[in-house]
Structure 1
Amino acid sequence: MVITETTDVEMKSADSPPGTEAVDKKDTDLQNIVEIREQSRQIEKAVSNKENRFISRVLRGLPTTRRKLNGIVLKGLINQLFPQGEKDALLCFVEDTSGGSDADSNTRSRSATKSPLPEVDVYIHLLILVRLIDNNKLPEAERCAQALMQKIVSQNRRSLDLLAAKFYFYYSRVAELSNKLDSIRGFLLSRLRTATLRNDFEGQAVLINCLLRNYLHYSLYDQAEKLVSKCVFPEIASNNEWARFLYYLGRIKAAHLEYGVAHKHLVQAMRKAPQNAAVGFRQTVQKLLVVVELLLGNIPERQIFRQATMRRSLAPYFQLTQAVRMGNLQRFGEVLENFGPQFRQDHTFTLILRLRHNVIKTAVRSIGLSYSRISPQDIAKKLGIDSAEDAEFIVAKSIRDGVVEATLDPSGGYMRSKESTDIYCTKEPQNAFHQRIAFCLDLHNQSVKAMRYPPKAYGKELESAEERREREQQDLELAKEMAEEDDDGFP
């Protein structure tokens, strides 16, 4: 059957026959089968030419292919690519399609006579696993993932590395949806050891991210930090894997009170993430980034909360930012009470609880700027604290930390604020400029590292040995002609 593509698009009339949509759907399914067959040919080409870039190109189009999958397409692929004895092991995972008899009859006549390459087999099996995840058939997805795991582990082929890396991600995803992440931790560690010994950089990057997600899912921050310190994340990993790794690293550093380092990693994760896609990932990173900035004592820009893709998801964090900026403990408590479940779901509730000290510091700083002298009783009333002694201790700690320039007079029972000095007489401007210069230099270094070139592209500009010999021969002939002309001119 020959499928022709036309560039003209015609609108369907309202009085079209009732069977037109079914015919169009059948043609679409057949076209999708042809496209995925072409992808399998690209995989075979990659294996024969030992060029992984063809497999990488096929995997980059997996999100688009994922939307084209259904029972008819998968059955057609299995009937065309697999011989009769190997079909049943895969057809048991495909849903039954009552309306796909015509498409099945068109593809069953061209059944394969021999088994496909292991790479093609793994790719079709991976498509079936993705389809089961999309349909939320978790028991079937677990059995399919176990069968695919046995295929990958039994093979020792370097051409399977990219496909195996993609499988590790979906294998971990199935375990996460089934709430069995702790049961696959040993398997992931063993595959990480194997990938490291084989210099499988893509698989190594995916496995490190899967293990970090596994540890952080159970709040095992110490184990996650040990993993980061013991292994080296490959430099040539894709930007998507780098973005995930930097996000997990930011979560680990924030949990260990290293807010400056966490902020740096989260900013790099936002920079490496796709700008026009992966909206959910960028929202997750931005939520944690807002909390880390508040813990650093900075107030995020209002423009962040006004973005169309961030406005709804960051609404609770906008109210949290307002409470911290104003130093209002009562409003801070209301935000925690109203949005506590969402903060726990975002894994930021523990960090937000630490912001209470920042709210108190902001309130004490505003009190110190507003009053030249104030009693601890009035400070306790403004902070919403019942005890004046607690307010005095809070003020003493704020003075020691440099939050407010003031002195406590125990005999008089008040806090006296010092006169504000010119900030340009201090080192604050120099520190601010240093921070900006360091950020620009780090941005330049990361941009240089992110540059990618086609493999062996430098060889195109170099001449081959044959071309060099021709050029040298032409130079010799030209030199002889010039010598002969000189002899003719001077007898």
Structure 2
Amino acid sequence: MTSDNTAAMEVEATPEQTLAETRRILLEGIRAQRVDISRSIRFVQRGIAAAETHYIYRALRTLSSLRKRLEPSVLADAIAANAASDSAPATRDCLNGMLALLGQQPAPAPRAGACEPEVCLFLGLLVLLHFLDSGRHEHGVELSETLAGVAAGSQRRTVDPVTSRIYFYYARFFEVAGRLSDVRTALLGALQAATLAGMKETKAMLLTLLLRNYLHYKLYDQAERLTAKSGFPEDAPNNLLARYLYYLGYIEAIQLNYSQAQMHLLEATRKAPSNTATAGFQQAAHKVYVIVELLMGNIPERSLFRIRTLRKSLLPYLELTRAVRVGDLTRFQDVVNRYESKFLSDNVLCLIQRLRHNVIKAGIRSINVAYSRISLRDICLKLHLDSEEDAEYIVAKAIRDGVIDATIDHEKGFIQSAEAHNVYETSDPQLAFDKRISFCLGLYNDSVKAMRFPDSSHRKELAYAIEATRRERELAQELENEDYDDESDDDGMDEDL
């Protein structure tokens, strides 16, 4: 009975009411978006006035929430509200260009005072995000070039965080448009200017963008020369440092420096946060890391392949690891042929092709452990080699490289394994302990460098306060002395009377 009454009391909304409700929700969202953009711009202006970048960073942290609900009309109104006739020509032309690309007629909102470059670049970031999400890539290329020109004309400390993001989307739009090579000269010029101006975050961003540019076209020698001649800023943000270490590790792996590549890739995975937002970077870094581990003769831990964000993407690499671990050359080739397109898209096929020798070495190592004496014919059959001569050459090279400890009897055609030694009698534990100590010391040094300390401006204020106190004391002393002199004069006059 009650449910029937409740159903009877419910009234279906008419189409006009539904449209009015939708319009009301849209207007409320637009009104809230205008308030959020205005608040972010006020943070930028406060950072300019105080010459402090943490206000700028606070405004930039709102980009992710603003990006989800950007409206062209709201952007046009915000640009018009911050436009002024007495702004710099480059800034004024940039704001007018944004309005033209948006194709909106903003509400008239005259503004007194010039528009600062930081505010112009922040508004440009919002418009670039709108163009990127809406697929208007040609408009984004045009606007990003204009914004890069505005960023290059200002070298203040507060413009550094915004400029770094401007160059990121500048390169991103050219990459999406398939014109990544056209932006390389501009990025090199901007890197030189940022280095001379001491803009550390912009320099770090430009270094990562140039490395990505070189690796996209497989220009590994140019990328290696760039990293050798350009030092990465020590106090750069962790996200840029993680990307730089990933690119550096990939370059080192291509250049056959596997130990350095392993160190850089491991540090890159530790620097990047482990969450769903960075899952793509973690997957890309761990793919190269697994291959470098296999090239060094190590087997990655099984727990690495069980991480929830990495389990699906590392499945081909898990099968590859299994093939390398057992030293089965046929199984290894089958995995490579099955996932060849996947390895090509990950840009690791050239590294995987180098693993064939490691598969053979792993097979020889397992045979050396399992058999104290085995014929070359049996080794040839187990490793699926073409002839006994090839097996003898491969085993001889493995002995010379220190992979196994054995001797070859050429006349009788067999391999004699040496007696197993206690690993604690060697220097391997010492090397492993030294590696862990070096990592802990590096982590401690990075933590100390990452701590924020107050700048030296408070010392000037302290010195001024101490000087003012000293002057007040001297003035009070002088006043006391004058009062004492006046009292002495009065006493003398009384005695004369």
**What does residue range 23-422 of structure 1 map to in structure 2 within 5 Å?**
23-82=24-83, 89-94=97-102, 108=107, 110=109, 112=111, 116-155=115-154, 157-276=156-275, 277-422=277-422
- The corresponding residue for 2:480 is none
1-side partners of 2:335 and 2:227: how far apart?
34
Give per-residue Cα distances to partners, 1:126-181, cap 9 Å, x unaligned. 21112111222221211122222333334555543332221111111111112212
- Give the counterpart letter for 2:389 in structure 1: E
2-side partners of 1:251 and 1:295: how far apart?
13
- Give the counterpart letter for 1:94 in structure 2: L
Deviation at 1:460, TM superposition (A): 12
2-side partners of 1:258 and 1:50: how far apart?
44
2-side partners of 1:166 and 1:109: how far apart?
29
- Give the counterpart letter for 1:394 in structure 2: I
Distance 1:88 1:437, change over 3 A: closer
Give per-residue Cα distances to partners, 1:257-277, cap 9 Å, x unaligned. 111111111122122212334
Deviates more, 1:67-76 or 1:227-236: 67-76
Give per-residue Cα distances to partners, 1:251-294, cap 9 Å, x unaligned. 11111111111111112212221233422112211111111112
- The corresponding residue for 1:4 is none
Report the aligned-residue RMSD.
Answer: 2.9
1-side partners of 2:66 and 2:213: how far apart?
28
- The corresponding residue for 1:6 is none
CA contact (8 A) 1:324 1:359 kept: yes
2-side partners of 1:464 and 1:47: how far apart?
25
Calculate the TM-score normalised by the size of structure 1.
0.84
2-side partners of 1:458 and 1:341: how far apart?
60
Deviation at 1:236, TM superposition (A): 2.0
- Give the counterpart letter for 1:65 in structure 2: L
Deviates more, 1:305-314 or 1:18-27: 18-27
Give per-residue Cα distances to partners, 1:414-440, cap 9 Å, x unaligned. 112222222223222222322222332
- The corresponding residue for 1:10 is none
Give per-residue Cα distances to partners, 1:30-87, cap 9 Å, x unaligned. 1111111111122122222222221122123322322232324323323433369977
Deviates more, 1:55-64 or 1:311-320: 55-64
1-side partners of 2:223 and 2:145: how far apart?
26
Give per-residue Cα distances to partners, 1:75-104, cap 9 Å, x unaligned. 3323433369977632333377xxxxxxx8
Identity %: 42
CA contact (8 A) 1:93 1:128 kept: no
- Give the counterpart letter for 1:75 in structure 2: A
- Give the counterpart letter for 1:42 in structure 2: F
Calculate the TM-score normalised by the size of structure 2.
0.83
| SS of structure 2 residue aligned to 1:416 | strand
1-side partners of 2:296 and 2:461: how far apart?
50
2-side partners of 1:110 and 1:391: how far apart?
83
| SS of structure 2 residue aligned to 1:93 | helix
Deviation at 1:342, TM superposition (A): 1.7
1-side partners of 2:242 and 2:268: how far apart?
4
Distance 1:14 1:405, change over 3 A: farther
- The corresponding residue for 2:482 is none
Deviation at 1:385, TM superposition (A): 1.5
Deviates more, 1:16-25 or 1:454-463: 454-463
| SS of structure 1 residue aligned to 2:339 | helix
Deviation at 1:462, TM superposition (A): 6.5
- Give the counterpart letter for 2:97 in structure 1: A
Distance 1:286 1:451, change over 3 A: farther
Give per-residue Cα distances to partners, 1:392-422, cap 9 Å, x unaligned. 1111111111111211111111112222222
| SS of structure 2 residue aligned to 1:374 | strand
Distance 1:419 1:129, change over 3 A: same
2-side partners of 1:54 and 1:169: how far apart?
21
- Give the counterpart letter for 2:35 in structure 1: V
- Give the counterpart letter for 1:396 in structure 2: A
- Give the counterpart letter for 1:360 in structure 2: I
